Chain A
């Protein structure tokens, strides 16, 4: 390998884009050439500094609103004469609105109940022999890149071994007719599946625990992602898991 080639390929090495064979070749060249060693070290250093700096921009809320309003919306039903009359019959137009609000809330919960049951089914499936993980690793730097390219959004993969929850791997699963990522942890001999899917809502939704078929499921939303942690460990231990995970994610973001 010439230095010219190595000067290009060392970037692919830095970015984890080389297969094992090429990676070894580039590493061998770097090891044998002091100029390339220095260049590699310098580029790695720059990449580290860049990674530590927030270089992203956040879209202004006004832009989000502009785009939202430009999308076809489900329009509010024009009140017909009859529905207005019915509104009055119920006491006032306000109570009619309140009633329709109740319907919306009921429907949404139904939807969530269905997704919860899918999440629990996926958890059960994962417990059958050979279904737990597609990628087996206790190293978050192995699990995280594995998801890249397989999903629109790679789930955050955080090692919580020090906090008593061992990362064992990751898996693709299927919830609500969409492929989503599942990060698998173990607490003693108990499996915790963390399902992560993207959502259009970026608001923070605080964690809530529900129980279904004897499994605890703690669900929350943050930064455009929906999370479900499912396990047969106790509700308090599951809450502890979610707290530690959230704290670690926050630390990563603010890093």
Chain B
């Protein structure tokens, strides 16, 4: 039988961490693009989080859980050896390209048509890392720049430039698809 301390800790952990289950699962779905891999990753994330819960000093639970989930997902990517590591913290060539070239479609004439969630999720799924995770953390998980910086382990300035890139790429893909649909 577990010691009372463990039970109490588990109860505190449950109250602090379980309300974010959907947030963590959402990030896992976007990072891994597979429902059952995402479930495994989220479960592993919660197990690790419980293990390290004693050393958790805040400030916010959500970025902390996301940071753990990223580590789990990185391990998953390493396991899928045939795929390149999805989350790469060294700035790649893509990151150094100027932003300018992204929005070639003249923006003033473009009004994005509303699309169903499935189509938008596909467009987001197709974004390259590390831009996708930055985008998802901001736009879908509602983290502040500072929280993203904390979860990802990069300076706020990097978060800002990655987000700008991610949005530029997303809009370019979106408008390109609409062009095709015409």
Contacts and interface: CB of A to CB of B under 8 A. Distances in A.
Given A9-B160, A49-B115, 12 more contacts: A4-B100, A10-B164, A38-B106, A53-B114, A62-B39, A63-B25, A67-B42, A72-B10, A74-B7, A149-B59, A200-B19, A224-B19
B7 A73 contact: yes
Contact of A7 (B10, B114, B164): B164
B156 to A, nearest CB: 9
Contact of B61 (A45, A70, A152): A152
Interface in B92-144: 98-100, 103, 106-108, 110-112, 114-117, 120-121, 124, 138-140, 144
Contacts of B15: 198-200
Contacts of B107: 38-39, 41-42
B1 A67 contact: no
A64 B59 CA distance: 24
Contact of A63 (B39, B100, B111): B39
A8 B168 CA distance: 10
Contact of B43 (A45, A63, A74, A224): A63
A177 B21 CA distance: 23
Contact of A56 (B7, B13, B16, B140): B140
Interface stretch (A11-19, A121-129, A163-171, A237-245): A11-19
Given A42-B171, A153-B19, A57 B10 contact: no
A52 interface: yes
Please classify how large the interface on chain A is, using the bins under 10, 10 to 19, 20 to 34, 35 or more: 35 or more
Interface of A: 3-4, 7-12, 15, 17, 38-39, 41-43, 45-47, 49-50, 52-60, 62-64, 66-68, 70-75, 148-149, 152-153, 198-200, 202, 224
Contacts of B138: 15
A55 B25 CA distance: 12
Given A42-B110, A55-B140, A63-B39, A71 B14 contact: yes
A46 B170 CA distance: 9
Residue of B1, B111, B115 with highest tally of chain A CB at under 10 A:
B1
B2 interface: yes
B121 to A, nearest CB: 6
B154 interface: no
Given A46-B112, A55-B140, A72-B6, A11 B164 contact: yes
B167 interface: yes
A9 B160 CA distance: 8
Given A50-B139, A55-B124, A152-B61, A70 B47 contact: yes
A222 to B, nearest CB: 12
A9 B42 CA distance: 33
Contact of A47 (B19, B111, B139, B164): B139
A75 B6 CA distance: 12
Contact of B13 (A8, A60, A71, A152): A71
A4 B25 contact: no
Contact of A43 (B23, B60, B121, B167): B167
A166 to B, nearest CB: 27
Contacts of A8: 99, 160-161, 164
Contact of B10 (A66, A71, A149, A199): A71
Contacts of A50: 120, 139
Contacts of B42: 59, 63, 67
Contact of A42 (B50, B103, B124): B103
B14 to A, nearest CB: 5
A64 B43 CA distance: 9
Given A4-B98, A45-B111, A198-B19, A72 B167 contact: no
A46 B10 contact: no
A100 to B, nearest CB: 17
Given A11-B163, A11-B167, A43-B167, A67 B21 contact: yes
A29 to B, nearest CB: 14
